Chains A and B, each alone.
Chain A
Amino acid sequence: AFPWNNTILSWQRTAFHFQPEKNWMNDPNGPLFYKGWYHFFYQYNPNAAVWGDIVWGHAVSKDLIHWLYLPIAMVPDQWYDANGVWTGSATFLDDGSIVMLYTGSTDEFVQVQNLAYPEDPSDPLLLKWVKFSGNPVLVPPPGIGAKDFRDPTTAWKTSSGKWRITIGSKINRTGISLIYDTTDFKTYEKHETLLHQVPNTGMWECVDFYPVSKTQLNGLDTSVNGPDVKHVIKASMDDTRIDHYAIGTYDDSNATWVPDNPSIDVGISTGLRYDYGKYYASKTFYDQNKGRRILWGWIGESDSEAADVQKGWSSVQGIPRTVVLDTRTHKNLVQWPVEEIKSLRLSSKKFDMTIGPGTVVPVDVGSATQLDIEAEFEIKTDDLKLFFDDDSVEADNKFSCETNGGSTARGALGPFGFSVLADEGLSEQTPVYFYVTKGKHSKLNTVFCTDTSRSTLANDVVKPIYGSFVPVLKGEKLTMRILVDHSIVEGFAQGGRSCITSRVYPTKAIYGATKLFLFNNAIDATVTASFTVWQMNNAFIHPYSSDDLGVPSST
């Protein structure tokens, strides 16, 4: 294993992504906006930097960027959650009160669903939570394994006025989402039908189900339905640790959902993903404050557990993203960092560069540890024409970032993009890039990739090449946005049609030695890049005090 030292490990801690002060974190839980505060709960081990002893951590924010750590919200103190207060979701009832459904791992490791609610609804901080005396409210039904029944969703209203939830599970190798109706969240009626099922996908964790507008760019409350609405099912695949989603039609009357395109159904390996990098156990909530749907996702580590223990923490949360249906393609979602992230932008520099084939250019932005980059790329028209008129160039519909050699494999029209978190000599670098090939009927086929294979000289790190095809419509330029924050890089292509989050652990490209490069590794294309780079400020994330909260001290 690489001899990590405190200097390197300290640098890895992020500056504007949410993470606890120390120890382990995983799934986002029960996000909501209440009385002026965004609440974020999370799976947290208060005792170590590895998974275990899970409680609900709790933090609040006014803007989803700056956070105050609050006391732990719920701990395993009952037989029905003795082995962990696991993932759950919040629902606002008609009177504005909140109920929280969460999975408990019982004293015998059976997964059951439990009900909790705020002790004092007038408290905007929701500091104290009461567990319902009749817990558990749901136990694994017949035919479902004791350890295959977890992560209840936010409830939505049926046309008959009941509340409906779905819970992920599996039967043999078929991933399923069970459906329950309730009127009081204490007693439930199970549907014999499933919301959805997909063979050979394994256990579905952290199922999410929500509507998206076919016409509007605003988000929708979870209970909204109608002719202008599509419904999204997301499930986290236990087997692969990938979050897959699919878009389809929900039938309220029989509580089922049908995908628009069965060939890219939930969990199918060629199907849609929120993020083609490291992104799991995600959960959305409707932000009634700004009329948008926001997506949280857990970003684990790509280093070893031993390194996590040494640095004393593990995992971050992705920058919250707005999520809407792509109203141009109608085939995918688009995700974009919440607008509040712009409040962290400091000085900026604008660049217009034309770079020929096989060129790497340093971008003079000073230290490049915390950046927000927005870029547009254009391939020289003559080069494009030559390429597409050349009949000897065959269509390449099978190109994949993972298997085609990464950013060093040169093609006619790519790769080109940025190398972030690079050192002066490029011994460490993480290229985020486009690669353009000839697709069917001589159309452009564009993939968006992140290559972490040279991101660090350390050997005890997973260094994949991530990526996917990204739709580029007629008249659109190639665009990308990259958020760089120490050991995390989030890339968004074509306005968020494709996203890639990666964790990288440079050993030389750290502190003041971190550089940014623009590169064009294509053989035949000259590329023009117009981009702006902002230095990013630190977010204010620390334990709360009475002063922070604007409330009188209790002492």
Chain B
Amino acid sequence: AEDTGVRVELAEEDDCTKSSIALRLWVEDQKKLKGKYKDSGAIEFAFDLDTEVPETVAQEMVDSGFFLEIDVKIVGKSIRDRVSLIKWRRQRSASARN
């Protein structure tokens, strides 16, 4: 996947059963973001794989003041890429069990 400069990873072991998972996001390469990333921390949050949309969470982060509106797409894409990978891994392990 394209390097967005934003890292998103699992904040807990994926047991492949819960739809809600904990994710952790942080800026790895500030040059990739157009706006100035104001926080030096990692943001941990719960995400429901079945019902939630990555871009909505990205907008909530903007609304909370973590990022500027101009970076909402790059944040949303970063979350979407990770969520896609998690879903793919789950499907793969489910088909391996069958």
The answer on A and B forming one complex is no
